[in-house]
Amino acid sequence: MIDRLSKISKKQSFFLFGPRGSGKSTLLKQLFEKENPLWIDLLDQRREFELASDPEFLLELWSSQKPKWIVIDEIQKNPRLLDVVHRSIETHNIHFALTGSSARKLKRDSANLLAGRAASYTLSPFSALELNDAFDLQQALTTGLLPRFWDQEILEADRVRALYAYVQTYLKEEVAAEQLVRNLDPFRRVLISAAQSNTKIINYAAIERDAGVKPSQAERHFEILCDTLIGRHLEPFETSIRKRQSKKSKFYFFDTGIVRALTNLAGESLNSSTFEYGELFETFLINEFFKLSEALEKRWRLSYLRTKGDIEIDLIIEKPRGAPLLIEIKSSKIKPTAEKLISLIRMSKEFNGSTSYLLSNYETPITIEGIRCLHWRSALKEIFEI
């Protein structure tokens, strides 16, 4: 078993959100291995139908043994249950662990989110630091880090089949079954276009040309991708909130294997000298920063910067206190030079007191004109103090 970095407190009820297949149920089974909670799986159609017809049936199921904890998997499938959950916390002092792969339906249906009576955690696919010595970068970039696909005994061909099946399951069960869109075909086209736009600033006009979907509709579809936790925005850096909102975000899928499946490249070889490798490496590392920030409950703001002169900083980390961190990501194994870092060197002088990093596959730590050049794994450990 892989020890996850997310540390869940059992002192109060909680939500555990994460994309399907990220290991939520496994983590809860570990958490409650010495207890015997009432376990409700809403992916079980019979149980889901019973509770959809009569939410109060939940208390009937609990009353026979009255365990301290009730676990409800995929709570977004029946938001009405949250009213019963709320009342049960107040009246019977029951504790709840509620998992979900989407908060969209809860928000859309104005569900009772327990008014602060439940903590909220997020679980992503494996982090490289969780896997430690079992981590393999090439495998992570080609087939991703979803726990169900990471088992070393699974054949590569089976991983690839599972990735394509994951995409179809997402479309069928997360989008179509939950009626998040009226027509699945335009959403499917936007999904593919989004994969082609991965790591880039979102251009809704270009998506309209590629997918035949109006910009306003494409924007709603991107919201669905984020709300169902299959993608995330990296906001533009700007000290003014108003100016920040007027600029365009970058978009990253939550897993490199899913990007390859959506671009029909899962199963194809991946060469470290290619543009695709560089984009997947960037996706992997940006997701590592999000994963670790969420798991370690850091209140950090992550953003990117692109100037009018097209100078770009891949990632800026703003902590509650102190100067920001400026981070450039390169997949190269070659020793970096000042010429390759000229943009980062120039921008680091604009941010007084900031610390600048180059994260790459080059093994030996060096400093070039104040830029700390570290292997990406060493940099993650240093930045997150692990």
DSSP annotation of 142 reads: H
Identify the pLDDT of residue 117.
79
CA pair distance 180, 105, nearest whole angstrom: 8
Beta bridge partners of 69: 95
Q: Output the pLDDT for position 174.
A: 84
| Residue ranges of domains in the chain | 13-122, 128-281, 298-384
- DSSP assignments along 349-363, one per residue: TTSTT-EEEEEES--
| Of 174, 340, 171, 167, nearest in space to 260 by CA | 167
- Whole-number pLDDT of residue 110: 46
Alpha helices of the chain — where are they, by DSSP H?
24-31, 45-53, 57-63, 81-92, 104-108, 128-131, 137-143, 147-150, 156-169, 184-196, 204-211, 215-227, 241-245, 256-262, 275-295, 342-348, 376-384
Q: Which CATH architecture has domain 13-122?
A: 3-Layer(aba) Sandwich (3.40)
Distance of CA 99 to CAs 49, 76, 191, 200, 207, Å? 18, 8, 25, 31, 33
Cα 291 to Cα 122: distance, rounded to the nearest angstrom: 8
| Residue 303 Cα distances to 289, 316, 326, 348, 378, angstroms | 11, 5, 10, 15, 21
User: Residue 159: its pLDDT value, please?
Assistant: 92
What confidence score (pLDDT) does residue 253 get? 97
φ, ψ of residue 69 in degrees (nearest 5) = -120, 145
Question: In a 3-state reduction of DSSP, which class is residue 289?
Answer: helix
* pTM confidence score: 0.93
Number of residues assigned to the chain: 386
Q: What is the 3-state secondary structure (H, E, C) of 174-231?
A: HHHCCCCCCCHHHHHHHHHHHHHCCCCECCHHHHHHHHCCCHHHHHHHHHHHHHCCCE
- Which CATH number applies to 128-281: 3.30.70, 1.10.10, 2.60.40, 1.10.3470? 1.10.10
Rounded Cα gap, residues 84 and 59, in angstroms: 8
Q: Which residues neighbour 321 within 8 Å (Cβ) at sequence distance 6 or greater?
A: none
Q: What's the CATH class of domain 298-384?
A: alpha beta
From first to last of its 386 residues, the chain has per-residue pLDDT tens of: 789 999 999 999 999 999 999 999 999 999 999 999 999 999 899 999 999 999 999 999 999 999 999 999 999 889 889 999 999 999 999 999 999 987 766 766 545 567 677 898 999 999 999 999 999 999 999 999 999 888 777 888 999 999 999 999 998 888 887 788 888 999 999 999 999 999 999 999 999 998 999 999 999 999 999 999 999 999 999 865 555 555 799 999 999 999 999 999 999 999 999 999 999 999 999 999 999 999 999 999 999 999 888 889 999 999 999 899 999 999 999 999 999 999 999 999 999 899 999 999 999 999 999 999 999 999 999 999 98
- CA 96 to the chain's CA centroid: 23
The per-residue pLDDT for 105 is 65
Amino acid of residue 193: S
Residue 225: which of 248, 192, 257, 256 has the closest Cα? 192
Q: Is 203 left (phi over 0), alpha (psi -120 to 50) or beta?
A: beta
Question: How far is residue 60's CA from residue 86's CA, in Å, rounded to a whole number?
Answer: 16
Tokens of 190: 């936007």
Q: Is 92 left (phi over 0), alpha (psi -120 to 50) or beta?
A: alpha
User: In degrees rounded to 5, what are phi and psi of residue 214?
Assistant: -60, 145
SS3 73: strand
pLDDT for 107 equals 63
